Amino acid sequence: MSENTTPALGFDDLLAANDAFAAKFTLGGFDGIAHRGVAVVTCMDSRIDPLGMLGLSPGDAKIFRNPGGRVTAAALEALVLGVHLLNVQRILVVPHTSCAMTKYTETELREIIGEKAGSDASWQGFHVINDQEAALKADVAAVRSHPLIPDTVAVGGFIYDVDSGKLDRRV
């Protein structure tokens, strides 16, 4: 994999790659349900391959990503839809090691972003994580206790190690 080959502007390289992708595309007409019954909530971190880490392929799982892999209101909305309309029977909440969201306080992040943006960022909320283990437990509990997610759905909390590729179940 090469580094720093990102063009400053434009989408041409990506659209050229899409032409090649579409030329070999075989998933047309596929439905959108989770064929392996899996939903994953994980971080937007570019080191994470949510399907690959679980031995899954397109069509197998619903993937919801955000900074930190947090169970936010939007994540719960996605999980409720997944469970009732898209065959989700197993939910994995997967934050990871070396996550940027564990490195700063909300105040620090607002200062850094404000400086980079050259504009006040004090109004912007970020779901920073002070204690990753505690946040994971709370997030898993939020899924398990959701009134629209039945007890028959398996819910687990795992930390993904970005250096070994291993998942470690914590909850």
**Helix, strand, or coil (residue 7):** coil
From the list 92, 99, 128, 136, which residue makes contact with Zn ion (rule: CB under 5 A)?
A: 99
Angle, vertex CA 93, rays to CA 34 and CA 87, nearest 5? 20
User: Closest CB to Zn ion among 37 and 95?
Assistant: 95
* Region of 95-103, 107-115, 130-138, 145-153 interacting with Zn ion (CB under 5 A): 95-103
Q: Are 54 and 120 in contact (CB under 8 A)?
A: no
Mutual angle of helices 73-85 and 132-144, in 10-degree steps: 40
Per CB under 5 A, the list member of 34, 38, 43, 136 interacting with Zn ion is 43
Residue window 111-150: x/- pattern of binding to Zn ion, with contact defined by CB under 5 A: ----------------------------------------
C-alpha dihedral, 114 to 120 to 126 to 131, nearest 10°: 60
Residue 45 in the binding site for Zn ion (CB under 5 A)? yes
Residues that bind Zn ion (CB under 5 A): 43, 45, 99
